[in-house]
Amino acid sequence: MSVIHADSLDVCFEGFIFRLSLVASDEVESAAVRSLSDLAGDSALRSMAVARSLKTPPLHHSSVRSLKSEHPCYSGTVRLFTVWASKHCFTGEARHACDMLIDRSPTRCQMRPESFHRTSIHPSIAVGHLCTELIELIVAHEFLHPSSCTPPGSILTGFYRSLLRVAEHDWESEPLVVDLSGEISTSPSVMLDIVTNFRASRSHGKERSSDGPQVDCSNPAWNASFLDAMNVPMYVVSSADKPHKYWPSLAARSPEKMVLTMIAKSARSSAMRLMQWIKQPQHDEMSTDELLAIMSRRDAVMSRSDVVLRFHKSLFCRDPARAPPFARLNVYANTPVSEAGLHSLTVM
């Protein structure tokens, strides 16, 4: 079973819906993007747009899969960190739900998450959140570069060290380099490129804030708008950014500076409480409550919000058994087959 969209094809296969998007060669995709008026004159941003949407994601995906097979507890650590970030309102889950409500088309199966970036609801929801890829990279850093320790062998250790990394990393003056494939550590020139890129973007940001000269002319490809786009608070570069010339492809999805400060503060606080919980010689019966207290602290974001929108859980959880009131099929023994066809589904 398949459903066609403007840019993709939904194929129903073995109980899942796969959304297929066609990708042509690099030249074709770059030429197509070049025709967009807002990117026509900016080759760096143009190539970045192509790499970000078509080249980097598959590389990132395969690297994460490899890491998962090498370190079985990696995926659990990412999931736990995501739960932590979600409980602190630092993830973009609400973004998807907002998108459904705001951009909902009268025709089912035609919802486009890409359009949400034009809507500004809250910094921590709209742009200033920790996306899944960023979380994967932060956690991967602890597994690939464990400093003086061995790589984490449990979710507990991986989670604790990831919290510490977010809290203690000097985001302002140091890039977080995640060598997923081993190419960066074996090539000093690549590392040098990353540091040079980082310094260029940061110095551009400083000059801009002090009304100094606007453009770093050390590289003709780096114009002001490009360096502006790259000067993000959470500067994370991985080996999957190779098609992107080791600029951070996740730059557009980095948290804002204010939100990053909130994230680091919450991470530090959670890490301290987690360590206290680990060190307790007894109190086992209180562990669930204590863990919940460590994991969820929404005050930091909630106290700063004027309006809070609450979404039904089923918008985030994909369990078919959890039916929201607006998309629910009450099944009886005599429910006609015509009511339970594929046409009744809403693909979100």
Partner 1 sequence: MTQRGMRFSIDGFDGHHAGLLVAYLLQTKRISGAGHTSAINVFQTVLTFIAEGNLSKHVLDFTRPDVRESKSRRDGSCCSYLESSLDTVMQLSSVIADDMWDFLCPVTLNHPIPSSDGSFNCFWRVSGSAVDLLEREARRGLKELQSHTDTSCYDSLFMRKMGFFGCHDSFVHIPFDGKCLPFLKDSSLEVVDKDVEACPPLQAVREASIEQRTAFSTILAHCLPQQHLSARCVQLATTALGDRVQVIHSLVQWVNRPADGPTSSDSSSPSSTPIVTSSDPTSAHFPMWAIDRSADRSFDFVVSLGILLNNDKQERRVDKGPTTADGSLLTDLAADPHAVSGDNPTIAQNFDELKRFRDFWGPKVELRRFKDGSIVEAVVWDQPVTATAAAVRGDESARGVPSVVEQVVRYAFGRHLTAVCGLGGEAIRPVCTQLDRFLQEVSPLSSDRTTRRAVEALDSLRGILTSKVKELPLAIESVSCVSPALRYTSVHSVPPHPIVLSDMGSSVNAGSNKKSAASSKSMREMLKKHAGTSMSLLCPPLKVLVQLESTGKWPTNDLQAVVALKVALLLRLRQELSKQFQVTNFSAGIAAGIASNF
Residue numbers 96-115 binding partner 1 by CB under 8 A: 107, 109-110
Name residue, tokens 């996740």: 250
Rounded least distance, CB 246 to partner 1, Å: 17
The residue length of the chain stands at 348
Q: Which is nearer to partner 1, 199 or 316 (CB)?
A: 316
Tell me the backbone φ, ψ of residue 52, rounded to 5 degrees: -65, -40
Task: Give the integer Cα–Cα distance in Å for 275 and 272.
Answer: 5
Contact flag: residue 221 with partner 1 (CB under 8 A): no
Interacting stretch for partner 1, rule CB under 8 A, among 223-231, 232-240, 297-305, 336-344? 336-344
Longest dimension (CA), the chain: 74
Site for partner 1 in 245-304 (CB under 8 A): 275, 278-284, 287-288, 291, 295
Q: Which residues lie closer than 8 Å to 103 by C-beta, 6 or more apart? A: 111, 112, 113, 115, 116
Rounded least distance, CB 227 to partner 1, Å: 26
Tell me whether strands 2-4 and 9-13 are parallel, antiparallel or unpaired. Answer: antiparallel
Q: Which is nearer to partner 1, 23 or 221 (CB)?
A: 23
Q: Which is nearer to partner 1, 149 or 307 (CB)?
A: 149
Q: Which is nearer to partner 1, 257 or 298 (CB)?
A: 298
Rounded least distance, CB 73 to partner 1, Å: 7
- Bridge partners of 46? none
Task: Give the integer Cα–Cα distance in Å for 125 and 120.
Answer: 9
Long-range contacts of 157-161 (CB under 8 A, 24+ apart): 158/73, 158/74, 158/76, 158/77, 158/80, 159/77, 159/80, 159/81, 159/84, 159/274, 160/271, 160/274, 160/275, 160/278
Rounded least distance, CB 258 to partner 1, Å: 25
Rounded least distance, CB 283 to partner 1, Å: 5
How many residues bind partner 1 (CB under 8 A)? The answer is: 115
Site for partner 1 in 74-93 (CB under 8 A): 75-76, 78-80, 82-83, 86
Q: Interior CA angle at 91 toward 317 and 315, to 5°?
A: 25
Q: Which is nearer to partner 1, 258 or 275 (CB)?
A: 275
Contacting residue, 181, 223, 249, 314, with partner 1 by CB under 8 A: 314
For residue 94, give Cα distances in angstroms to 71, 141, 249, 286: 30, 26, 22, 31
Rounded least distance, CB 206 to partner 1, Å: 23
Rounded least distance, CB 226 to partner 1, Å: 21
Q: Which residues lie closer than 8 Å to 198 by C-beta, 6 or more apart? A: 174, 175, 235, 237
Rounded least distance, CB 128 to partner 1, Å: 20
Q: Which is nearer to partner 1, 169 or 204 (CB)?
A: 169
Task: Check: CB of residue 139 under 8 Å from CB of residue 158.
Answer: yes
Site for partner 1 in 13-72 (CB under 8 A): 13-25, 28-29, 31-36, 54, 57-58, 61-62, 64-65, 68, 71-72
Site for partner 1 in 124-163 (CB under 8 A): 132-133, 135-136, 147-150, 152-157, 159-161
Q: Which is nearer to partner 1, 307 or 326 (CB)?
A: 326
Contacting residue, 101, 258, 293, 342, with partner 1 by CB under 8 A: 342
